[in-house]
Structure 1
Amino acid sequence: MTSARSPGGRERQRPAPVRPRDAASVMLLDREGERVRVLMGKRHSAHVFMPDLYVFPGGRRDAGDHRISFGSDLHPSVLHALKTAGTRQLTDARARALALAGLRELYEEAGIAVGQPAPSAAAPVPFLPDLAKLRYMARAITPPGHARRFDTRFFALFANEAGIDPTRFLDSRELQDLQWIDVNDSPSLRIPDITAIILADLRSSLDSDPSLPCERAVPLYAPRRGRLVRTLL
């Protein structure tokens, strides 16, 4: 807490600034039809952060995510970008934990497991996450003034590359009304501003190269002097 003087001269307590927490989100893409579609769902109305808005599956990085065993590692270019894209360099374990958090959240929020079954029932998730097909697409930091702030890394994953059946997903307590949205349409759903920006970036990337190569410049959206500034990392 910080203090400031009230008009009467007495000190009053100001709430401490909310620091962004690491988070990850996965844009699961279905390209089997004529158009590419992305999976989105509505956040529960009880959420403090972005209630009733449609988003990609995702959430904050948990302390135990770096201990999740995985089946295959990130592409070297993706791991490098996660480690170096920012003001401080991350360790391999912390960078990898961001991707593991994204796949864990995809499973918890949509019932989609990306990887082979885990050999032990005591594993944190019932599968060995396959990180190799993840593309690192963007990073966005929630501006000040929100009750929750996140430093979110956005990943893209093609369902057919990961062996995912696009008809098999489940609503959860976290994310409801899951549905496939054509990335080329302006969604009629209520979505956060940053989600609309990331969708526009995704469209541009697909137009440039539909394979979404792992070697790519990653846009960072960060608050600066009251506005969101885009920087390529």
Structure 2
Amino acid sequence: MKPKDAATLLLLDRDKERPAVLMGKRSSRHAFMPNVFVFPGGRKDSSDWRVKSDTRLNEAVVSKLMERTHSRFSHATAHSLAIAAARELHEETSLHLSKNGELFDLSHLRYIARAITPLGQNRRYDTRFFTCFCDEVEMDLSTLKDSNELTELQWVDVQSPQNLDFPDITARILNHLRHSLNEDRTLPHTTKTLHISNK
């Protein structure tokens, strides 16, 4: 089964003493990873490449996204993955990656990980993990609320995660995020990208 493109957004709140990342519990109705805590995200839609944004992705992020990809992977593909991450965040948490709740602001996104679901699973995804700080886009956090996709939304301490049920891949991405923040709390656009696959 060929993996389908997907995108995830690790939204960080650094107003607290230690950075916290937004996570929620997947519905029991999901065929793929039900009843576990994950970051907002999901499958890329075919229409995502047509969605306009308020700003462009940082060129360093585009370059990183284009590494280890096929020849058909383009700037439009990179844009559509970033849009998918922002769209899924909005659909699953009601938070909008912008200061005005209109066009998405992609300029602050960092690309920190890519994970491909191993063979043998009932669903397979080629997921790109983005991250950014919510204060960078002056996001209105008061709009945060549960959805049909994610419930029990909460800010999880990156350095000392609560005793939540994480899938192995989520735990690995969280660990990579923790190490990246320890190296540089600003998470520059050139932050090292973690690659995980079944190969």
The alignment's TM-score, normalised by the length of structure 2, stands at 0.96
Distance 1:185 1:215 in 2: 25
Q: Distance in 2 between matches of 1:87 and 1:96?
A: 15
Aligned mates of 2:162, 2:2 — CA distance in 1: 31
Alignment partner, residue 148 of structure 1: 123
2:11 pairs, out of 8, 11, 28, with 28
* Contact 2:49–2:77 (Cα < 8 Å) also in 1: yes
Q: Deviations over 1:104-129 (max 9, x none)?
A: 00000000111255xxxxxxxx7211
Runs of 4+ deviating beyond 3 Å: 165-168
Q: Is the 8 A contact 2:99 2:139 kept in 1?
A: no
Per the TM alignment, residue 186 of structure 1 is displaced from its structure 2 partner at its CA by 3.5
Q: Which residue of 2 aligns with 1:212?
A: 187
Residue pair 2:180, 2:191 contacting (<8 A) in 1 also: no
TM-score by length of 1: 0.82
SS at match of 1:25: strand
Q: Which runs of 5+ in 2 are unaligned?
A: none
Distance (whole Å) between structure 2 residues aligned to residue 166 and residue 39 of structure 1: 11
Cα distance in 1 between the residues matched to 2:14 and 2:118: 33
Give 1:32 deviation, angstroms.
0.4
Give the alignment partner of residue 70 of structure 2, picking from 85, 88, 95.
Answer: 88
- CA positional deviation for 1:136: 0.4
Matched length = 198
Aligned residue type for 2:35: D
Highest relative contact order (Cα 8 Å, sep 6+), 1 or 2?
2
Structure 1 segments unaligned to the other structure (5+ residues): 1-17, 118-125, 225-233
| Structure 1 residue 172 displacement after superposition | 0.4
How high is the sequence identity, in percent, across the aligned residues? 46
- Confirm or deny: 8 A CA contact 1:45 1:51 kept in the other structure: yes
CA contact (8 A) 2:40 2:89 kept: yes
